[in-house]
Structure 1
Amino acid sequence: MRMSRLALAALAALALAQGTPAAAQERSAPNSIFAEGLGPGLLYSINIERVFADDFGLRAGFSYMSFTAGLSSSTGGTVSSASVGWFSVPVVATYLGLRSGNNILELGAGGIYTHASGSATGGGMLATRAGDVLWGTAVLGYRRQPLNGGFMFRVGVSALAGKGLGFDAKDPEKAGVVPWPYLSLGASF
């Protein structure tokens, strides 16, 4: 059955009067940069993300930390020191299709490459060690991100999964999962 031109015109006028549905709006700001506390970057990370096809995002980040401690003894003049440093690179793909305007339910999965190294000296001896690890991550959270650019806010929980993780991780070869919250602030452009 064909609709009359009058009925089609009425439907078009009603749609215009109500505005364009949020799901039908196109994103004009597909890029974002943000700082994240905790999350897949472990303690913090600086991230860049690109949204493709309006519903899928791909982000990469970087985090680096270094700590040094020294201790000197007044008897014998020995000096002991220790240092540790690590960096991590989280890469996460997200699904952003469940949204209402600027409010988005964020679902994602990815991986985290981490390199750690440490050294210690004392009593005339030096010990060093370094290692790499690859963990998995899953993300579930809320995101407020304007479609046309501006301030971006994210909050949620990520799950870190891999060897040596877990609340009872006494065995470094045993795989486990740790829930890890995150909070991000940034901008879309």
Structure 2
Amino acid sequence: MKKIYVVLMLLAVLFISSQVRAQQTFDSGTGRAQNVFVELYGQGLLFSANYDTRFSNKRDGIGGRVGIGYFAVDGNNLTTIPIGLNYLLGKGRNFFEVGLGATYLSAKLSGDDFFKSDNSDVTGSEIIGTMSFSYRLQPINSGFALRAGFSPIFGNGFFIPYFPNFSLGYTFSGKHK
């Protein structure tokens, strides 16, 4: 468990430090694209709220995302924290996203859960690997954004190649005067 927190803290520090070092000049006057969005399925597994940004002052290229998700039903709950790197290929409003990341999972399953054969309570956490292959519609300056595609997930002994993702959000450009 201690290793999980160390890895998450290291990823968060790297993410924040890359933001601090980002240049203050902008490419073509449009600035660095930043997104806030909610995602169904995808790297957050069920539902997550996320922030995504480019690491340079361009609309395409390498960037990162971080989010948090929570889902609870009948005494069972699941918390997810997706963190990842992605690369955008494209121009204008249309991009293809390729990404790689990790999602921290923390779950509590009650004794009468359908997925367990005994009546004991289970609490645990795990980190799984995630990928992203998605179409992204992102406005030039700011406005409505959409993502859809596949987010393969993998872990200890499993691989789900066609796990879908769909997100709606808002893009803003970070222009400065």
Q: Same fold (TM over 0.5)?
A: yes
Give the CA RMSD over aligned residues: 1.8
- Which of 84, 88, 99 matches 2:76? 84
Give 1:29 deviation, angstroms: 4.8
Letter in 2 for 1:109: L
Q: TM-score w.r.t. structure 1 length?
A: 0.67
Closer, same or farther: CA 157–120 of 1 in aligned 2, 3 Å: same
Bigger strand fraction: 1
**Residue in 2 aligned with 1:78?**
none
| Equivalent residue, structure 2, for 1:129 | 122
Offset, 1:28:
2.1
Give the aligned residue type for 1:37. Answer: L
CA distance in 2, matches of 1:36, 1:131: 24
Whether 1:46 aligns to 2:49 is yes
Alignment partner of 1:182 out of 151, 165, 168: 165
Q: Equivalent of 1:119, from 87, 92, 110?
A: 110
Amino acid at match of 1:150: G
Q: 1:65 aligns with which of 61, 71, 92?
A: 71
The CA deviation at 1:140 is: 0.5
1:93 maps to which residue? 85
Q: Match of 1:147? A: 140
Offset from partner CA, 1:115-147 (integer Å, 9 cap, x none)? 0012338xxxx8422111111011111101123
Q: Residues 54-76 of structure 1: CA distance to partner in whole angstroms, max 9, x if unpaired?
A: 212211111111111xxxxxxxx
Question: Contact 1:36–1:184 at 8 Å: present in 2 too?
Answer: yes
Structure showing greater Rg = 1
Which runs of no fewer than 5 residues in structure 1 stay unpaired?
Answer: 1-23, 69-82, 164-173
Deviation, structure 1 residue 158: 0.7
Q: TM-score of the superposition, structure 2-length normalised?
A: 0.71
Spell out, residue by residue over 1:92-134, the C-alpha distance to the aligned partner (whole angstroms, 9 max, x if none): 21101x212110011110001000012338xxxx842211111
Give the match's secondary structure for 1:120.
Answer: coil
Q: How many residues align?
A: 137
Where does structure 2 lack aligned partners over 5 or more consecutive residues?
Answer: 1-26, 113-118, 173-177
